[in-house]
Every structure is written in structure tokens, then in C-alpha cells.
Structure 1
Amino acid sequence: MSSNQFTVASPPTDAISALKFSPEPDSTRFVVSSWDKNVYLYDLRDENGNVGEEGKLLQKFAHRAPVLDVCFGENENEIFTAGLDWDVRKIDVQSSTQTVLSSHDAGVKSVVYSKEHRLVISASWDSTLHIHRTDPNLDSFPATIPLPSKPFSLSLTPTKLVVAMASRALHIYDLKSLALLFDQSDREPPNKIEIEPWQRRESSLKFMTRAVACMPNDDGYASSSIEGRVAVEWFDPSPESQARKYAFKCHRQTVDNVDVVYPVNALTFHPIHGTFASGGGDGVVALWDGIAKRRIRQYQKYPSSVAALSFSSNGMYLAIAISPGFEEGKEDVSEGTVEIYVRKLGETEAKGKAAK
């Protein structure tokens, strides 16, 4: 193991579904959800405030079923979770209490939080979005928006929400429009609201979408597929901007002269440099410059499939969660196959080619 990377102590006991660093400036906390029915809160710093060699498990929050996604809310004391119990939950870290915000009619695949609009947005396999407003002065029931197909991944910017779905469909919503739903005094639960997305798109990728991640500058997003490809697109609908979109092959290996293709499970953008990392079923993490259309670097192969990635808010750390994926075809989780690695990045490690 290289000196600028370490494994986190006390990882989950089953496959990891999501990992997110705190959005607080210079925070070293991150939260992890797992199929072992728990949510884990870690901190890279020890009691003395130093970043140690293994991080520290602060708290563990038990759920009734596997947890599929997790994110921080308004601050580090607030965590939102989504899972196979069909619930969207809010965890108060200080009191360790859990509150059910809403229940879908099937497993909840994704949850995100918009600080700018104080919205919690969940996406379920019942083909709906639930929009929750966290303002305590407003009614707590969510707005429900029907989707044309099952959602696979959510990502947002200060102004946009991107929903990646089955059938290679993508919807882009204007967050201000979603926030306005809560100003309608005549709305009653459990109304399904037919709201038009700001844009409807078809994925540039040929196969099923696995992940989507928005650019930190609010310009666009990257998406990935089960078939070793990543697409980079821009929100601006003008022909000039749309002509810039492109897709490329990645996370492929030649085995016995055969091109083996792996799913690209995870994407995350660097908060400062705007470059992005991809993680695949091949156990490989790569850094990309989406503007220059070049790979910046590729790290050594990890012991199992890369399940989730997250940069810290100051861009100094990259957390890498690995766990056996379906490409291994194994039901049991053997020792060393579920791990969280944290890599401390060099000053120019994630900079784009033009930025150096």
C-alpha cells in the first residue's frame, strides 16, 4: 500500500452501496451505507485532530433493511438515508434518532439534499420522486412526481437535478421549480404532481446507465453505463453546446486476447479542479480531465469491484469503497473484499492537463 493511502478501520460487513464526504469546508467526516442494514459515520481525524492511518468509526445507525444510499443534510448532524425498507429517513447524529420522512411503494434507490433550496429528493423503484422540504414551518408531507421508468441514479447542482433512469432516459429538473411546489397552499397529500422536467434527454450511452454525477460548476454532468463507457454532457441546450458532448470507453481489460468490459459503478467530480474520478467493476479507479478529454492517471487495481467514490469538500482526499460486485458472481463476502481506502492527493494529482 502506498504511503499516501490507507484503509479505514471497521468497514461494513456486507457490500457498500454509497459513500459521501461531508460538504462542510475542510471536514474529514464521511458517511457510508451498506447492504448489512447499517449506516456508518467515520472521521479521518483522531482525538487530537490529526489524520491517522486508519480513520475512526464515530457511530453506526441500524436500519430494518439494506441501505442503498446516504447523504448529509444541512450540516454534519443531519444524514438522510434510502433503502429496501421503502423509507426515506432522517438521522439526527447527536441524538442518534431516526425519523421517517416518507415511504415509497418499493425500494428507494437514491437520496440527495439541496442546501440551496432545503430539499431532500428521493428516487424509488416505484418510479417516483419524493420531494421533501426541510423547513420546519411547512407541512412535512412530500410532493410526489411520477417518472417514466425506474430511476438508477440522482445528482444535483445548486440549480439542477439530474435523474438517470431505465430505458436510457434522463430528466433534468429545475430545483427552483421543485421548491415552488411547497408554496402551493391548496396541495394535499399524497398528490402526484405532473411537473414537466426542464429537459428530457436520451443517454448518449448504448447500454443501461449505472451512475450520474454533476459538474461542480453547474455546467453539466457525466454518466456511466454497465458497458464500460462514460459520457460527458452540458446542460446548455444550444446546438453549439450540445455538439461538445462525447462518450469514451474505459474500465476494460484484455484477458487471453479477449476484451473484457466492466460496469462503471461510480463517478465523482473534484470540487475544485472540476476533473472527475471513475470506479469500475475491474477494481480500478481512474482520474479524467473531461474538458481536455484525457485520462490524468489510473491507480493500482483494488482487490474487488469499486462500489463508490467521494472527494472531500476541500479536494484533499479521495475515498474509495470496494466490495464484491455481481461481475464476480459470488454470494458470500470474504475477508478483505469490503474495504474503504482513503487516498491523500498530491497538490497537482487531480488537476486537469491545462491547469498544471
Structure 2
Amino acid sequence: MSLFGSAAASAPNNTIGDLKGDVAVSETPEDSISDLSFNPNPNDAKDFMAVASWDKKIRIYEVNTSTGQTQGRHMYQHNAPVFSCHFAKDGKRVVSAGADNQAKLCDLESGKDSVVAQHDQPIRSVRFFDVDSQPQMIVTGSWDKTIKYWDLRQQQPVASVQCQDRIYTMDVKDNLLVVGTAERYINIINLKEPTKIYKTLQSPLKWQTRVVSCFNDSAGYAIGSIEGRCAIQYVEDKDSGSNFSFRCHREPPQGNTTQVYAVNDISFNPVHGTFSTAGSDGTFHFWDKDAKHRLKGYPSVGGSITAAKFNRDGKVFVYAISYDWSKGYQGNNAQYPTKIMLHPVLPDECKPRPSVKKR
């Protein structure tokens, strides 16, 4: 049976994607959506999604990935807008953080939540991580220019790392932690030595970093910036010949003017290793970094895409449409859409291009 019915199965086999099979999530947030996270546990019979938003709430939805139907299962609250959320690998806990300078942990089985981390300024990003056989810990990155590591059995951070500037984005994969700060600094940390910055560089993109996302194999990461560009970077110098950047989320030039939009989120497909970009222009695209090729591009969804993620088996791509403040206060109005859409991923949409062997 095809995902979300037969409409999605009719998508043409070319580089223009089809939105006809996309399904809206019910009971969406009341303000802009800042982050999304899926339950990564492959052994769970059900798929769950966490949504962070500016209405100070975290919502947990159960998602039927065959039909696209969703049902709200739990909700808890912060004291200020929530910027980041992340599922634990067992799928039983969610951590979230935001403008109240706190991170909260919610146990989904009991429904109870508690404060587990504190910074001097808003926490921009939070992630679970685990090293070797140790219990899962969390790492927080804040506008107070620090990264802090938290053992959930203790009230105080077990370690802290000073960064060059405010932390805007952060991602973890295996032992790789990548941190993007203001002034375009990128810090790479090996989580086996969490208090040492393994490598620091400035982003190859010329404007503010919006998002970093680690490759599935943790060999590198993608960077998205406010000027409609994306960079593919490898951690080790020996692989640096494969680094490159490309333009995306831009409109064709009109005379001497080119409309440029922020890349708000990047997500790697967990099965194929291809990735998505989603932007303020209201479009998303699927890319093959190894072939340096766009697999699919999609029409505008009618508003800025503020967050986007693949689910745990890569069969569903979820994107959040809401105002991202890129046009200031004047750009916001009561009619601006705030919704979450589920896109069924067809087999040809995210598969890498076949490699062409040179004779």
C-alpha cells in the first residue's frame, strides 16, 4: 500500500516534486514553529514526533506513517518560547530548551517534566548524546556563549566549553558535535574528549550561519546560511577536497536584483544519506551531496518553512510552515499560516543518483 493513499504515488519522475499527497497535522501550535524531532527507536511500534514552538509549548504527536493521520498525545510547557527539542534514542524521553534559559526533560511514560539544565541566557539548541556504554547525557548550547554537558543524575553541569560567540545552532551524530556560533565560527568537538575543541574554522559561507546538520556517518556536516547557500564540509583535512558549497533558495535574478532567502533547516535521510534543505522562500529540496546533484525541488508551500525533518525510516518528511521573522514585525499578520505538513517520500525522491564510472 502506498503512503498516504494513491495521490502521492502519481508524482512524476523528474526533478519537480509533487505536494498533492501531503497531509496536514491536526491541532498545530498557536505561534511559529521552531523545531521538530522524531522518535528514533526502530523497535517502537508507533512513530512519535515532538514539536517546539514560540507559544511556549512542546507537543508530542503520534504519527501513522502509512496514512498520514496524527493524534496529539502529550503537551508540556516552558516559561518562554521554545527553540529546540530532541528525542532520546529509546524514544521514551524528550528534552527541550528555549528563551527561559532552561532545558526540560519529559518522561513520556509518566507524562512528568522537570528542569535538567540552566544557562545565563536563552538556550538555542539541545541534543541527547551518548559515548560508548555510558548513559545518555544532554548537551546545551546557549546565547551565553557556552556549551554545557549534563548528566541527568546530577543537577550541575559535568563540564562546560567556552565558545567565541553566541551559539546559533548545534548538531550531534555519534561522537561528532558541531556547533555554529555568531560571527560564522564553526566548532568541531569529539565527544570522547568533550571539553576540547578538536577544530575551529569560520564557515565557508559569507553570511550568518542558520543551521548545521551532521552526516549520517559523522564524517562531516552541512551548513546553511541566511543568504541562500549551503556548504558540505568534511571533518578531516584528508577529505577536504570533497568540500563544496552551492546556491539554493534563491529566485532567478530580476535585472540587477536577486531575492535571497535563509536556509532554515537541513535534514539527512537516515536510509539514503541524501539530505533536504528548507527555506524562508517556502520551498524544500532533496539533494545528493556525493553526486553534487539536486534530486527534487518542490513548489512553494505558501509560507516560510521554519523546520523540517525526516522520520526514523526516511519514509516521511515533515515540514513546518510559520512566520520566521525574516521580514521583521511588518511581515507578520493574523493570516500567516502556521501548520505542519507530512510529505510521503516516494522511492525515487531521495535515492542517491547511480554513480557513473569513468572509463
TM-score (norm 1): 0.88
Flag the 1:99–1:271 CA change in 2: closer, same or farther, 3 A: same
> Where does residue 159 of structure 1 map in the other structure?
175
Distance 2:300 2:197 in 1: 39
Q: Which amino acid aligns with 2:147?
A: L
Query: 8 Å contact 1:4–1:345 — kept in the other structure?
Result: no
Determine what percentage of the aligned residue pairs are the same residue. Answer: 29
Which sits farther off after the overlay, 21-30 or 31-40? Answer: 21-30
Equivalent residue of 1:354, what SS?
coil
Select which of 70, 79, 102 maps to 1:87.
102
Q: Are 1:127 and 2:145 an aligned pair?
A: yes
Which sits farther off after the overlay, 159-168 or 74-83? Answer: 74-83
> Where does residue 163 of structure 2 map in the other structure?
147
Distance 2:69 2:304 in 1: 21
Q: CA deviation at 1:299?
A: 1.2
Gaps in structure 1 of 5+ consecutive residues: 179-194
Equivalent residue of 1:295, what SS?
strand
Query: 8 Å contact 1:129–1:144 — kept in the other structure?
Result: yes
Distance 2:164 2:192 in 1: 22
> Where does residue 191 of structure 1 map in the other structure?
none
Which sits farther off after the overlay, 308-317 or 116-125? Answer: 116-125
Q: Are 1:171 and 2:187 an aligned pair?
A: yes
Q: Are 1:55 and 2:70 an aligned pair?
A: yes
Select which of 108, 117, 124 maps to 2:123.
108
1:196-232, CA deviations, whole angstroms, 9 ceiling, x for partnerless residues? 3111111110011000000001111000100010000
Q: CA deviation at 1:274?
A: 0.6
Q: Are 1:275 and 2:256 an aligned pair?
A: no
Distance 1:260 1:120 in 2: 38
Equivalent residue of 1:167, what SS?
helix
Distance 1:343 1:336 in 2: 21
1:136-170, CA deviations, whole angstroms, 9 ceiling, x for partnerless residues? 4xx44212221111111111111110001111111
Flag the 1:291–1:106 CA change in 2: closer, same or farther, 3 A: same
Q: Which amino acid aligns with 2:196?
A: E
Equivalent residue of 1:123, what SS?
strand
Q: Are 1:37 and 2:35 an aligned pair?
A: no
Equivalent residue of 2:193, what SS?
helix
Distance 2:254 2:326 in 1: 18
Flag the 1:103–1:331 CA change in 2: closer, same or farther, 3 A: farther
Q: CA deviation at 1:2?
A: 4.2
Q: CA deviation at 1:251?
A: 0.3
Q: How does 1:336-347 map to 2 (within 5 A)?
A: 337-347=337-347
Query: 8 Å contact 2:323–2:336 — kept in the other structure?
Result: no
Distance 2:95 2:236 in 1: 30
> Where does residue 235 of structure 1 map in the other structure?
235
Equivalent residue of 1:348, what SS?
helix
Q: Which amino acid aligns with 1:159?
A: N
Distance 1:67 1:33 in 2: 6
Gaps in structure 2 of 5+ consecutive residues: 1-17
Q: CA deviation at 1:335?
A: 4.5
Distance 2:210 2:19 in 1: 30
Runs of 4+ in 1 over 6 A off after TM superposition: none
Equivalent residue of 1:260, what SS?
coil
Equivalent residue of 2:277, what SS?
strand
Q: CA deviation at 1:324?
A: 1.1
Q: Which amino acid aligns with 1:252?
A: R
Q: CA deviation at 1:355?
A: 6.7
Distance 2:222 2:332 in 1: 32
Distance 1:51 1:336 in 2: 29
Flag the 1:272–1:133 CA change in 2: closer, same or farther, 3 A: same
Q: Which amino acid aligns with 2:31?
A: D
Q: Which amino acid aligns with 1:153?
A: T
Q: CA deviation at 1:334?
A: 2.9
Q: Are 1:5 and 2:22 an aligned pair?
A: yes
Q: CA deviation at 1:75?
A: 2.3
TM-score (norm 2): 0.88
1:55-99, CA deviations, whole angstroms, 9 ceiling, x for partnerless residues? 111111122111010001242221101111100111112222221
Flag the 1:149–1:2 CA change in 2: closer, same or farther, 3 A: closer
Distance 1:69 1:333 in 2: 24
Distance 1:315 1:2 in 2: 17
Q: Are 1:67 and 2:82 an aligned pair?
A: yes
